Structure 1
Amino acid sequence: MNKVNTSRFKDKAFRRLGMVVTVSCLLILAVFVGFVLYMGLDRLSWEFLMSLPSRFADQSGIYTAWIGSIWVLVLTTLISFPLGVGAGIYLEEYGKKNKLATFLEINIANLAGVPSIIYGLLGLEVFVRIMQMGNSILAGALTLALLILPIIIVSTRESLRAVPSSIRDASNALGASKWQTIWNQVLPASFGGILTGVILALSRAVGETAPLIVVGALAYVPFAPRGPLDEFTVLPIQIFNWVSRPQHEFVINAAAAIIVLLLITFVMNGIAVYLRNRWQSKMKW
């Protein structure tokens, strides 16, 4: 067998191996999702969504959990979006390309892979103890904002890099200032990618449990939060609380809550894909 045939054989083998691995992963995921649907689909109802937690499984619901999740998600978005996008714009468009910039870029990329529990410990010390926010929604939102900031910064910089330099040169040649070029030309062209990165980062934040447990999110909250300084719980913590109980009825409740959380995640990811495709179809360079 010559080198050409050997290369073709390796290429076919790798392609088939990749297909087998992909199909296997999809089958495992389908089994898990199917099991969750089988367990919890019958439990889903308007009463389940609007009921407070209870020690009786058939009377317990996820009202406080999904209200807390919405509070945390909204505050996390308001905090992380301007900071992450602003930092990405500065580092890519204004920052000097030197050793310090390279050092910052490497560390920001590394922070995106830090385990979430580390951010929880940081939030516990800074927001809960030093700033004395307690186990409030605001402390949890600030902690999750720190968690997803590196992801937003990296995605913003990559989206800005994808804009051709000819657009910047044409704008500058017409007499526009640097900020006018960024605001009127670069950001509209890259906003689809930026928004996609933000939504995917928020999708990760929705499912995080460890950092919120560390900062003091409660497993049982008998009331829905009304402000950013109230105590709270979220869907992942409520699911964890029910799964840890020995009664089978609470496991069914957990499966129903998982379905709600999956729907939220799928909707957010679907919006990200739609916005990306929409902006890409508009941009013709």
Structure 2
Amino acid sequence: MNYELILLLLCLGAVVGTMSGLLGIGGGLIVVPALAFILPKFGIASDMVMYIALATSLASIIITSGSSALNHLKLGNVDLFVIKWLMPGVVIGGFAGSNVAEWIPSHYLPKVFAVIVLLLAIQMFLSIKSQSTRSLPSPFITTCCGAGIGMVSSLAGIGGGSMSVPFLSKHGVEMRKAVGSSSVCGCVIAIAGMVGFILHGAKAQGLPEYSIGYVYLPALLSIAATSMLTTKFGAKLATTMPTPKLKKIFAVFLLFVAFSMMF
């Protein structure tokens, strides 16, 4: 740990906070690939990097999504019906995803992450011109969908915004409320996933100093310090920007992340 690493992580947190408020993502789509690239350069073992990146990403999402969710609540961008029925599913799925990640060899995790994000980007591009007025499914189906979102999101170290935003948008929820509701769900997914990674990491060997399980505290605290300050700027942008433009930004961003992790 040194000043160069801390400076990089502080800058990363500022970007994460802005994108979280703008797109309803918890920041994992930025944090995971960034940490996977940065940490090996500072002496962290390569076979541990993806587990640490996923766990630390989820821990930072608790703070980032929580801050973003509060901003969206103040702006009236949260659909309480959505929260009520997605929440039980995302809790179960978030914890399950961390268990699945433990079974996957570390060198396959970046590819799994990239494929998930690529599919999400394609789905969002297809939905840009969609004017769907389809209502949300039944409460039970919505909860089951939440479980799927939670599991895949925890497995990829993301807060679920990249899945819940397209899901809600497709079912007729206004983009701004989809983004705001996603921030709330993302915080819950992150808590469940982080707990799983801490429990599994408690028995791991060779972790860097200042770690709790697979959560690397210097990265967590640095990212959180700046991301909390910048989520409000992203939330204000989300309120003023038109829906089609938000979808395009989201889709292009997902494509960039997918290809950066694939190659």
TM-score w.r.t. structure 2 length?
Answer: 0.33
Structure with larger RCO (C-alpha < 8 A, sep 6+): 2
* Higher Cα Rg, which structure: 1
